[in-house]
Chains A and B, each alone.
Chain A
Amino acid sequence: MDQNNSVLERVIIKFAGDSGDGMQLTGTQFTNTAALFGNDISTFPDFPAEIRAPQGTLAGVSGYQIHFGSVNIYSPGDRCDVLVVMNAAALKSNLRHLKSGGTIIANIEGFDAKNLRLANVPEGKNPLEDDSLSNYRLVRIDVTKLTRAALVDSGLGTKEIDRSKNMFVLGFLYWMYNRELDNSIKFLTEKFSKKQDVLDANIKVLKAGYAYGETTEAIETRYIVNPAKMKPGIYRNIMGNQAAALGLIAASKKAGIPMFYGTYPITPASDILHELAKYKNFGVRTFQAEDEIAAICSSIGASFGGHLGVTASSGPGIALKGEAMGLAVMLEIPLVICNIQRGGPSTGLPTKTEQSDLMQALYGRNGEAPMPVIAATSPADCFRTAFEACKLAIEFMTPVMFLSDGYIANGAEPWQFPKSADLSEIKVTYASAKEGEKFLPYKRDEKLSRPWAIPGTKGLEHRIGGLEKEHETGNISYDPENHEFMVNMREAKVEKIADYIPEIKVDSGSDKGKLLVLGWGSTFGAIKTAAADARAEGYDVSHAQVRYIKPFPKNLGELLYNFEHVLIPEMNSGQLIRVIRDKYMIPAIALNKVQGMPFTASEIKDKITELLKK
């Protein structure tokens, strides 16, 4: 059949269905195929907290959004062009994310009386049959029936057959966007290498979905999204938590010391553990502790012993680690604490994203307990940020907080991965005894850092602890002047890091002007897109993303003072902005969103234009 092909620059697709419908798998498969094809991509999985909420209900809807294009893509995008819905609940909870005139691909069986009732659709109504969707292009496919038909001779039970219906949808989308099936067939072959019948069924249904597009007239137009013009090089696809894990391993390798990862399972940080646990041959020791406190304390023990101690959690777990973080500050030993933030307070929104733990990272300990804090800006940036956190921890003998969040932890993007030789060196210096000299565990070098004296080193026997210690000797001291001196010293030591980190540069726009949008963490993509869109319309706006939050880059103040206005968008009620206002005394403007969802670029752009129109 002869179809028209239409070339598009970028497309946003959202796959939505019941959490048992396999939408995450469908989304990641489409993503990997797009990435291998050479599109730039950015993704955003959006799933419920319940593993299996009651089937067909609004609470059980799981979604996966992918933004891919032949142009540079910085975020998973705002509203989608195509919404794939496996049932009525998925449509109801996602319709507001679809562009006017967008395409809905609906699984007819998911709109039967039962599913409509579960989705709280008024009695007697069916959006697929009335004209309530007339603003959209509606493609109705009886996925279930077609899947069953394709597998009628497979010998599999109905339940097993129905499980592969996501492959039908994937096949259809592959046809729609002119994609090859090879990559997914390869994936399925590996996944079901021991279940030949299930493998055959999945491939058959995938092909059936593709053929359905070809043989029916469900959609008249197919689309072509050409490869993106990205910086030449070799790329892979990577998720944020995976990148963080690799960053930690890379740092351990570059430092030449093994890593110990003490942790307790928590959403959305657990995937770092799952990833690291595979790499024992990199000297990684993973330890699933009995609780969050044991997780960080075991890592402190490992660091005391000369290994790279790392722990990770999300907000609730970080709260539990507070006292031990203070101990690490006091001991002045290397330790990396990863906080993959989620919606709070308390248990909050475990599977949703937020940036509301910044104050906790900066100040969430008793006493004056300064700790470097650095924040990753995108899934791939989690690699670099985790690596730098380890480098700072080791070279400055300090605990370091690495901030990420659920959005970039589970999101994916293409990554031009580095060569190990190009990664910066990490210098480990263990102290050794000097003949005739008393060992001073708190004697400092030019970085104000103390020696790392590990057990087993002859002549360095010494005691450290959480009590205040005397300058240089480390002996317990209750002397008032000494205490104040040491408090100031620990702060000075962390601030000293500013001499060794890069200065901040605007990411886009000019160095001076009317408006600077200053972001931190995962808002990077949305701000970058918004600023570019606003500049395209003639607005004078620049964008900078601050990665080092404690200490700030030395020139941050200078940069801020170069702009008439500074806008700070955050997925919290205004946390960085307080620190900025406090430190630089500028009337920065806040843009806050606390919905468990990332900013859309248009939300930020609207604020930019509102400010600049005045």
Chain B
Amino acid sequence: MSDISTSSPQPLFTSKDLVTDQDVRWCPGCGDYSILKQAQTVIPELGIPKEKIVFISGIGCSSRFPYYMETFGMHSIHGRATAIASGLKATRPDLSVWLVTGDGDALSIGGNHFIHILRRNFNLNILLFNNQIYGLTKGQYSPTSEEGKVTKSTPFGSLDHPFNPIALAIGADGTFIARSMDRDPTHLKDMLRRSHAHSGTSFLEIYQNCNVFNDGTFEIFTDKATKKEETLFVEDGKPLIFGKENEKGIKLDGFTPKVVELGASASPDDLWVHDEKDRVKAGILGRFFDNPALKPDHFPRPFGVFYTEDRKTYDSDINLQVERATEKLGEGDLDKLLRGKEVWEIV
């Protein structure tokens, strides 16, 4: 893991200070509870004054999140949190802005704003709670639901090919792209810290179980019995190893990834070593997206930071333009502006 600029010597506030007086209204057992808890644990460590923190959400179950965080917050309209956060960050780069969204909010109705915020690279954090279902509207398929999914709106199975959010974010030139899950608090906390530490738009996809409308959709990745076999936790500079006994690895044959057994045929030295700065390899890793149920011979699902790069942020640039113009032209003189270039006098 790279350096994480986190803990200030004395936290300015505690997790408890982040709890609001509103009752949390997610269904009992919802994965959102864990995400809220990890966020409330990590944020006090970050050394940001509470009043400088803003949570902005769209619409959906996840978007209730701001009501439960004792910071500034806005529960906006469907799909638009990204656009609202862009305007806020452009004018107030001093704030720590966190965006909470879901698979429908970010990728369906808000898909356009999502790709544009990534390319512009505002310095803020996007937490996408992906549960592969529409929960708030009671169980329709979402843009991340698997093909053939039977839901209330698709009794004969969904025809939609699902989005791969990681691949989409790489395609949109995101500068920090990571995945975690609700059921791995340690990893999730790490990813939240890394998201905050990154300067630019941090995109963190969080697999979140909807125990009412899509229970167990990620079980294969989160259940102890299958997790080690089905997931691949990547770390910068470390070889890609997975399996019950860490007995398997990923090797790159040219641009083609291959699963190899460690031991006789391959040693850890032969394996693909994860490089967070390698965009091409991040693209390959992002495509480890087979549906385990449909393809027995599939790659494990990666978790961790796929890709990160340092790129100038839009919020810093837009303010720099204002500063530079003011330096060059002097602070705007309203009377001069109103007068314009050519005038005439009537006496």
CB distance from A265 to the nearest CB of B (A): 15
Q: Which chain B residues border A280 with CB–CB below 8 Å?
A: 321-322, 324-326
Chain B CB count within 10 A is highest, among A281, A418, A476, for A281
Using a CB-CB cutoff of 8 Å, which residues 372-420 of chain A contact chain B?
Answer: 417-420
Contact in complex: A458, B346 (CB < 8 Å): no
Judged by a CB distance under 8 angstroms, whether A556 is at the interface is: no
Using a CB-CB cutoff of 8 Å, which residues 31-53 of chain A contact chain B?
Answer: 32, 35-38
Judged by a CB distance under 8 angstroms, whether A460 is at the interface is: yes
Please measure, in the bound complex, the distance between the C-alpha atom of A227 and the C-alpha atom of B72, giving whole angstroms. 59
Contact in complex: A463, B113 (CB < 8 Å): no
Instruction: Kindly count the residue-residue contacts between A and B in the assembled complex, taking CB atoms under 8 Å apart.
Output: 212
Q: Which chain B residues border A232 with CB–CB below 8 Å?
A: 345-347
Judged by a CB distance under 8 angstroms, whether B20 is at the interface is: yes
Judged by a CB distance under 8 angstroms, whether A299 is at the interface is: yes
Using a CB-CB cutoff of 8 Å, which residues 451-481 of chain A contact chain B?
Answer: 455-467, 475-476
Contact in complex: B338, A279 (CB < 8 Å): no
- Determine, out of B81-89, B249-257, B269-277, the stretch whose residues face the partner at the interface: B81-89
- Contact-size category for A: 35 or more
Contact in complex: A281, B95 (CB < 8 Å): no
Q: Which chain B residues border A183 with CB–CB below 8 Å?
A: 342
Judged by a CB distance under 8 angstroms, whether A249 is at the interface is: yes
CB distance from B316 to the nearest CB of A (A): 12
Pick from B69, B77, B87: contact of A298, CB under 8 Å: B87
Pick from A291, A299, A455: contact of B87, CB under 8 Å: A299
Given A231-B346, A290-B116: A462 touches B75 (CB 8 Å cut-off):
no
Contact in complex: A32, B92 (CB < 8 Å): no
Q: Which chain A residues border B344 with CB–CB below 8 Å?
A: 35-38, 234-236
Q: Which chain B residues border A466 with CB–CB below 8 Å?
A: 59, 75-77
Judged by a CB distance under 8 angstroms, whether A324 is at the interface is: yes
Please measure, in the bound complex, the distance between the C-alpha atom of A465 and the C-alpha atom of B58, giving whole angstroms. 9
Please measure, in the bound complex, the distance between the C-alpha atom of A440 and the C-alpha atom of B125, giving whole angstroms. 28
Contact in complex: A475, B84 (CB < 8 Å): no
Contact in complex: B337, A285 (CB < 8 Å): no
Contact in complex: B112, A246 (CB < 8 Å): no
Residues 77-101 of chain B: 1 if any A CB is under 8 Å from the residue's CB, otherwise 0?
1001011111111111011000000
Q: Which chain A residues border B3 with CB–CB below 8 Å?
A: none
CB distance from A249 to the nearest CB of B (A): 7
Residues 8-30 of chain B: 1 if any A CB is under 8 Å from the residue's CB, otherwise 0?
00000000000010100000000
Judged by a CB distance under 8 angstroms, whether B268 is at the interface is: no
Please measure, in the bound complex, the distance between the C-alpha atom of A260 and the C-alpha atom of B80, giving whole angstroms. 17
Contact in complex: B74, A465 (CB < 8 Å): yes
- Determine, out of A130-138, A158-166, A300-308, A519-527, the stretch whose residues face the partner at the interface: A300-308
CB distance from A435 to the nearest CB of B (A): 15
Number of interface residues of B (CB under 8 A): 62
Using a CB-CB cutoff of 8 Å, which residues 279-321 of chain A contact chain B?
Answer: 279-285, 287, 289-291, 293-294, 297-307, 309
Contact in complex: A309, B87 (CB < 8 Å): yes
CB distance from A299 to the nearest CB of B (A): 6
Please measure, in the bound complex, the distance between the C-alpha atom of A465 and the C-alpha atom of B59, giving whole angstroms. 10
CB distance from A275 to the nearest CB of B (A): 10
Residues 197-239 of chain A: 1 if any B CB is under 8 Å from the residue's CB, otherwise 0?
0000000000000000000000000000001111111111110
Contact in complex: B77, A323 (CB < 8 Å): yes
Please measure, in the bound complex, the distance between the C-alpha atom of A302 and the C-alpha atom of B331, giving whole angstroms. 21
Contact in complex: B91, A324 (CB < 8 Å): no
Please measure, in the bound complex, the distance between the C-alpha atom of A290 and the C-alpha atom of B86, giving whole angstroms. 11
CB distance from A232 to the nearest CB of B (A): 5
CB distance from B36 to the nearest CB of A (A): 14
Given A299-B87, A455-B54: A249 touches B74 (CB 8 Å cut-off):
no
Contact in complex: A461, B342 (CB < 8 Å): no
Given A281-B331, A455-B92, A461-B71: A236 touches B84 (CB 8 Å cut-off):
no
CB distance from B341 to the nearest CB of A (A): 8
Judged by a CB distance under 8 angstroms, whether B224 is at the interface is: no
Judged by a CB distance under 8 angstroms, whether B294 is at the interface is: no
Contact in complex: A249, B346 (CB < 8 Å): no
Judged by a CB distance under 8 angstroms, whether A594 is at the interface is: no
Q: Which residue of B lies closest to A476 (CB)?
A: B67
Q: Which residue of A lies closest to B336 (CB)?
A: A420
Please measure, in the bound complex, the distance between the C-alpha atom of A24 and the C-alpha atom of B72, giving whole angstroms. 50
Contact in complex: B334, A233 (CB < 8 Å): no
Residues 42-83 of chain B: 1 if any A CB is under 8 Å from the residue's CB, otherwise 0?
000000011111101001000000110111111111001011
Pick from A235, A282, A323, A420: contact of B343, CB under 8 Å: A235
Please measure, in the bound complex, the distance between the C-alpha atom of A309 and the C-alpha atom of B346, giving whole angstroms. 37
Please measure, in the bound complex, the distance between the C-alpha atom of A461 and the C-alpha atom of B12, giving whole angstroms. 15
Report A's interface with B, CB cutoff 8 A: 32, 35-38, 183, 227-238, 246, 249-250, 253, 258, 260, 262, 279-285, 287, 289-291, 293-294, 297-307, 309, 323-324, 326-327, 331, 417-420, 455-467, 475-476
6 residue pairs, one from A and one from B, having the closest CB atoms: A301-B87, A465-B75, A298-B87, A282-B332, A297-B83, A280-B325
9 A-B residue pairings within 8 Å (CB atoms): A236-B340, A238-B340, A279-B332, A281-B328, A287-B90, A297-B87, A302-B90, A459-B51, A464-B75
